[in-house]
């Protein structure tokens, strides 16, 4: 009997082997992400793939050969705008081989990376076409932090979480975290641009992925940022979870189970997006923490976080109703040179919060709350020789100014600075409710 079973098993294996060896996999999903210095094309696979990539010149082309693949995705659907790809051609070079030819407007350097399955993805083949002459290594031209006239501005790096192959969390009706947080980041960037004492920079400004270590590097080294703000809208296993929260890097583990859960999700971004070996995050936590403590950056991150929570609390519920800054080991915050916080603007997994996060009005409110919190932090803790420091001295250490943005009312502004409307009127010699966008108000200290 046992012999018979073994015989049957062996013959089944033999029958299956040839089928398996010649398996042709269907590729029915391909994506393209344009980053500042490269174009990423991603093929979704069922299993590993044998492939070859090479460059041809006169005219410039890149050729990708895929073995035992049937390409059922129509590559003409890919949006080629802002990429060096002029056109795509697909041919069946040999019986079991698909050849994709990329016609280029300039020469590029190709590189491929086969990624093993990681939720929400299966196997993937990543083809990166690196620009030979990067048009912009940074998302936007670096603004000089030392102005030729006037005191130094504070540089705020706004980091929209996730992007590209890492969609972040998904809402119940399909809203993607990577899209929402980019919209909020851009709104915040626009608001901060109007502040005379602040220079904002976007760590990513499109739908592409930036490795976690690279996010810190762009902010700290390319832009010499004083403040790093990572924006998220994550999911939780319990769809009822709701509310905004603010996190800083932890010294002793996470401050709550939710904080620990969220840090684990965020730190997995590099794996989900797929990065190259040399892009791996090697920041050792202990060394960074020793450095951080020395610089008092953790304390300052908590002070900034409190201002942000206080502002966010005016416009959206706070997670657990708490006004305390939470702590967890978020890799993206491990940079001793900058005051760094991560803001969860809400739970995208909660139906009601997903609806709010989708709306432009709510995104705008979130951006304004973040702007106000950042402003208040700089105002209360002016770095020597900066615009905020100069303001404090100019006003005898008692007053700062507020430039009125569209949509703001006197009562709103009074509330933002925790002063009475009457006091705001008195200091600015206002009799009615008439204020205009762009007008500068003196804000008295309490
Ligand atoms: Zn996130």
User: Using one digit for the tens of pLDDT, what is the confidence trace for 77-88?
Assistant: 999 999 999 999
What is the CA(348)–ligand 1 centre distance, in A?
10
Residue carrying the six token digits 């997006």: 273
Find the range with the poorest average confidence among 85-89, 94-98, 267-271, 359-363: 94-98
CB-proximal residues (5 Å) to ion ligand 1: 161, 168, 232, 234
Q: For strands 38-45 and 30-34, give the pairing.
A: antiparallel
- For residues 2-11, give the mean pLDDT: 47
Strands (E) located in 57-181: 61-67, 69-71, 85-94, 97-104, 108-115, 123-131, 154-160
Q: Identify the pLDDT of residue 295.
A: 67
Sheet harboring 85-94: ordered strands across? 51-56, 61-67, 97-104, 85-94
Contacts of residue 148, Cβ cutoff 8 Å, sequence gap at least 6: none
CATH class of the structural domain 25-131: mainly beta
**In the chain, % of residues over pLDDT 90:** 61
What is the CA(269)–ligand 1 centre distance, in A?
8
Digit-coded pLDDT (tens) for 276-317 = 988 988 776 656 667 766 567 888 899 999 999 999 999 999
Structural domain boundaries in the chain: 25-131, 154-380, 395-444
CB 238, CB 353: distance < 8 Å: no
Q: Identify the pLDDT of residue 7.
A: 46
- For residues 94-118, give the mean pLDDT: 94
Model confidence at 323: pLDDT above 50: yes
What is the CA(140)–ligand 1 centre distance, in A?
23
In the numeric block, which tokens belong to residue 444?
Answer: 């008295």
Contacts of residue 312, Cβ cutoff 8 Å, sequence gap at least 6: 244, 246, 318, 343, 345, 366, 369, 370, 373
What is the CA(67)–ligand 1 centre distance, in A?
36
In the numeric block, which tokens belong to residue 146?
Answer: 């030392």
- For residues 431-441, give the mean pLDDT: 83
Q: Identify the pLDDT of residue 416.
A: 67
* CA dihedral over 87, 92, 94, 99, signed as positive or negative: positive
CB 351, CB 236: distance < 8 Å: no
Model confidence at 182: pLDDT above 60: yes
What is the CA(144)–ligand 1 centre distance, in A?
30
Residues for the chain: how many in total?
446
Task: Identify the CATH homologous superfamily for domain 154-380.
Answer: Zn-dependent exopeptidases (3.40.630.40)
What is the CA(299)–ligand 1 centre distance, in A?
23
The model's pTM: 0.81
Beta bridge partners of 163: 166
Residue carrying the six token digits 């501005």: 153
Q: Identify the pLDDT of residue 8.
A: 47
Residue 13: band (very low, low, confident or very high) from pLDDT cuts 50, 70, 90: very low
Is the peptide bond prior to 197 cis by the omega test (within 30 degrees of 0)?
no
What is the CA(44)–ligand 1 centre distance, in A?
23
Residue 396: band (very low, low, confident or very high) from pLDDT cuts 50, 70, 90: low
Task: Identify the CATH homologous superfamily for domain 395-444.
Answer: LysM domain (3.10.350.10)
In the numeric block, which tokens belong to residue 216?
Answer: 């810190």
Q: Identify the pLDDT of residue 336.
A: 84
């Amino acid at each position: 009997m046992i012999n018979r079973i073994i015989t049957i098993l062996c013959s089944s294996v033999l029958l299956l082997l040839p089928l398996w060896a010649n398996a042709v996999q269907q590729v029915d999903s391909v994506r393209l992400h344009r980053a500042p210095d490269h174009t990423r094309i991603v093929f979704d696979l069922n299993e590993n793939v044998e492939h070859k990539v090479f460059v041809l010149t006169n005219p410039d082309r890149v050729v990708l050969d895929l073995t035992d693949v049937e390409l059922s995705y129509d590559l003409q659907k890919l949006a080629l705008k802002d990429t060096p790809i002029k056109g795509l051609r697909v041919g069946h070079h040999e019986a079991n081989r698909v050849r994709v030819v990329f016609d280029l407007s300039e020469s590029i350097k190709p590189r491929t990376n086969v990624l093993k399955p990681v939720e929400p993805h299966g196997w993937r083949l990543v083809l990166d076409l690196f620009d030979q002459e990067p048009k912009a290594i940074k998302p936007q031209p670096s603004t000089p932090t030392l102005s030729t006239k006037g005191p130094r501005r504070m540089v705020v790096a706004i980091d929209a979480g996730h992007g590209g192959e890492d969609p972040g969390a998904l809402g119940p009706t399909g809203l993607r975290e990577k899209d929402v947080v980019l919209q909020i980041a851009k709104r915040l960037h626009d608001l901060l641009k109007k502040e005379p004492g602040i220079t904002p920079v976007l760590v990513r400004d499109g739908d592409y992925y930036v490795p976690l270590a690279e996010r810190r590097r762009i902010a700290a080294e390319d832009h010499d940022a004083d403040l790093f703000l990572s924006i998220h809208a994550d999911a939780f296993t319990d769809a009822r979870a709701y509310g905004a929260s603010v996190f800083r890097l932890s010294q002793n583990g996470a401050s709550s189970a939710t904080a620990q859960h969220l840090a684990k999700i965020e730190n997995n971004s590099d794996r989900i997006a797929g990065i190259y070996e040399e892009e791996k995050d090697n920041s050792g936590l202990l060394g960074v923490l020793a450095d951080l403590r020395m610089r008092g950056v953790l304390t300052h991150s908590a002070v900034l976080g409190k201002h942000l929570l206080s502002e966010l609390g005016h416009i959206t519920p706070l997670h657990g109703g708490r006004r305390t800054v939470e702590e967890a080991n978020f890799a993206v915050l491990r940079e001793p040179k900058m005051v760094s916080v991560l803001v969860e603007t809400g739970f995208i997994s909660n139906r009601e919060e997903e609806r709010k996060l989708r709306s432009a009005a709510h995104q705008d409110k979130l951006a304004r709350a973040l702007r106000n919190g950042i402003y208040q932090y700089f105002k209360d803790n002016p770095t020597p020789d900066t615009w905020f420091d100069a303001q404090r001295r100019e006003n005898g250490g008692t007053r700062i100014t507020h430039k009125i943005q569209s949509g703001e009312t006197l009562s709103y502004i009074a509330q933002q600075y925790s002063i009475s409307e009457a006091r705001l009127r008195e200091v600015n010699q206002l009799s009615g409710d008439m204020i205009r966008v762009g007008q500068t108000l003196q804000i008295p200290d309490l």
